[in-house]
Amino acid sequence: MRISPAYLKSGILVSTAGVFGSAFLWLLSFKAMAFWMGPEGVGLFSQLRQMAQAATVGATFGGTNSVVQGLAERKDEATRRQFRATAARLVCLSGFAVVLVIAAAAPLLTQFFLASSAPALVATVRWIALAVLLNVGGTYALAVLNGYRSYPYLALAQIAGPAALVMLLGGAGWWHLPPDPQLLSGAFVLCFGVTCLVGAFGVSRLPKLERALRLGALPKAQSRAFVRFAFSNLVAALSTTVALLLVRSWVIEAKGLAFAGLFDAGWTLTFNYTTLFLTACSAIYLPRLTAAVRPEDRRACMLKTAYLVLGAGILVCHAMVLLKEPLIHLLYSSQFQASGEVLMVLVIAVIFRGVSWVYGTLILATRNSRILVVSDVALNLMLLASTRYALDSFGSLQALSWAFVLPNFLYLVFVVEYACLQNRLMCRRDIWPFLLAGTSPLFYLALSGPQWANSGLVTGLSMVVGLGAAGAALLAYKKVVS
């Protein structure tokens, strides 16, 4: 199936609108939580969401990537239907298995991840099992829509669920309902349920085969290949979500829900929304990189995406540092002022994360299962080690934030070297000078004392340097020959 440039351009705009709309609505949901339940509520909300995400990743073999990659490399509808039959059966079976485990092990999960055995929280975790089941269905539907490049329905499904979530949480805060953990789990059920329904509707509108054709599942050899790749993607993605779950559980156990809520506010404004943005980019980038066969085509695809992500990331991160106090007050409340310490440091890790995602997607596109597993597991083991050290030795928000910077920098070094090794046309000088120029002012502000970090002159100069680095990256984007 050939995609016209005009359709692809409009698809990029629609997909971007969908993911930014979804990100904005999730941001509003955190604002509603901050207004309704304060830092403790935000901490609980974030941990429940991470638990649901981890379970969904496990049930869908790593999220959407396996299905998107499998559909993108198949050109005719007949083989796509065979692939979908196999993938749907596996996802359905694993989804029900994960949900049963959550329901049965709810007391243990509550004690481990929420450092509590309160009956209300145990019941909340059991309700999260239903939210996970709906999220599994929604995730699979989004993956199919992405693989078919059905961007309007993809964007609609991405927005619909968070919109319902915001309305429910906003209503709870407006009517001053008593804080109730089970209402939070009900909010997730509503959110993921709406996404699942809209996604299923979009899938039903995809092209259909002739009725006379009856297709079964994939041949055994192809099924085994899919399962191997999906399992590798599962281990890689699950290592990330489980690592974040463990980090949050350690923070809650050591410092309480309020401290976790303050950290989550800074983490959400940086890492969480960066991940959502990169997920949106993946809807365009992963299929295109998978389809690019010639080394020069892959180089052009990677560099154009890297420069675009880096340029946008530098602009946004410098602006967030410049406006951190009014931003936190606007999106959360004055109770979250300490989250500025988290934001100041995590913006550096976010820039590293964005570029490493661009280069690391090459591992997915080439289905290098061994490297995918080893690199992601190593990254998350380093993250766990650094955060455990930061909590035990310092116990401050800023130290915990720096624990995210080092692993992401080391992973960036690895994926850049991997890309250069796989494609001799890729060069280190294509990206490192831009990264150095874009992050140096942020390092200076984060490592300086408060008197310098809050100085208008210093932050102004930082913004000027950031604008220059972002402009240089975007200019390099224009110069890449497709």
| 161 plus 300 within the same structural domain | no
In whole angstroms, give the CA distance from residue 166 to residue 294. 45
* Domain finish residue from 215, 234, 253: 234
- Choosing from 196, 214, 234, the residue where a domain stops is 234
- Shared-domain flag, residues 230 and 379: no
End-to-end alpha-carbon separation of the chain, Å?
20
CA nearest neighbour of 382 among 405, 360, 398? 405
What are 152-169's pLDDT values in tens digits? 899 899 999 999 999 999
Let me know: does 369 contact 229? Beta carbons within 8 Å. yes
Element (H, E) at 4: none
Domain-located, residue 102: yes
User: Do residues 184 and 302 share a domain?
Assistant: no
- Pair 207, 304 in one domain: no
pLDDT for residue 168: 94
Contact 265, 339 (CB under 8 A): yes
**What would the pLDDT profile of 222-261 be if each residue is shown by its tens digit?**
777 777 777 777 777 778 888 888 898 999 888 888 898 8
Q: Say what the pLDDT of residue 5 is.
A: 56
pLDDT of residue 472: 93
- 103 neighbors 129 (Cβ within 8 angstroms): yes
- Residue 20 has a pLDDT of 76
| The pLDDT value given to residue 146 | 85
What is the amino acid identity at position 64? T
Last residue of a domain, one of 191, 212, 234: 234
Q: Alpha-carbon distance 257 to 29, whole Å?
A: 18
Say whether both 213 and 309 belong to one domain: no
DSSP structure class, residue 105 = T
Whether residues 313 and 399 share a domain: the answer is yes
**Threshold 0.85, pTM exceeds:** no
Own/partner long-range contacts of 70-78 (Cβ < 8 Å, ≥24 apart): 70/147, 70/226, 70/229, 71/143, 71/144, 71/146, 71/147, 71/148, 72/147, 72/286, 72/287, 72/290, 72/291, 73/290, 73/291, 75/1, 76/1, 77/207, 77/209, 78/209, 78/213, 78/215
- Asked if 205 and 58 sit in the same domain, the reply is yes
pLDDT at 280: 64
Joined together, the tokens standing for residue 457 give: 């002159």
Judge whether 246 lies within some domain: no
Residue 261 falls inside a structural domain: no
Whether residue 221 sits in one domain with residue 311:
no
Once rounded to an integer, what is the mean pLDDT over residues 205-211?
A: 70
Asked whether residue 199 falls in the same domain as residue 315, the answer is no
Q: Could you tell me if residue 416 is inside a domain?
A: yes
Question: How much is the average pLDDT of 406-432?
Answer: 94
Reported as a pLDDT band with limits 50, 70 and 90, residue 80 is: confident
Contact 162, 191 (CB under 8 A): yes
The whole-number pLDDT of residue 117 equals 87
CA distances (Å), 210 to each of 78, 341, 373, 468, in order? 10, 59, 40, 56
Radius of gyration of the chain from its Cα atoms, rounded to whole angstroms: 22
Report the pLDDT averaged over residues 338-354: 92
Closest listed residue to residue 147, CA positions, set 24, 19, 3:
3
Which of 121, 352, 379 has the alpha carbon at shortest distance from 241? 379
Instruction: Answer whether residue 250 is part of any domain.
Output: no
Residues 313 and 445 placed together within one structural domain of the fold: yes
- Count: domains in the chain: 2
Cα–Cα distance measured from residue 411 to residue 243, given in angstroms and rounded to the nearest whole number: 15
Highest-confidence segment of 57-66, 227-236, 407-416? 407-416
Give the model's confidence band at 416: pLDDT under 50 very low, under 70 low, under 90 confident, else very high. Answer: very high
pLDDT of the residue at 212:
40
Q: DSSP letter string over 412-440?
A: HHHHHHHHHHH-TT--GGGTHHHHHHHHH
220 is a domain residue = yes
CB atoms under 10 Å from CB of 471, counted, come to: 13
196 and 332 share a domain?
no
Closest CA to 233 of 377, 97, 43: 377
Average pLDDT across the chain, whole number = 85
Q: Give DSSP secondary structure letters for 231-244.
A: HHHHHHHHHHHHHH
- The answer to the question of residue 51 being in a domain is yes
Among 98, 357, 91, smallest CA distance to 230 is for 91
Write out the residue range of the structural domain in which residue 179 sits: 1-234
- How far apart (Å, rounded) are the C-alpha atoms in residues 480 and 482? 6
Examine the domain organization and report whether 318 and 449 are in the same domain.
yes
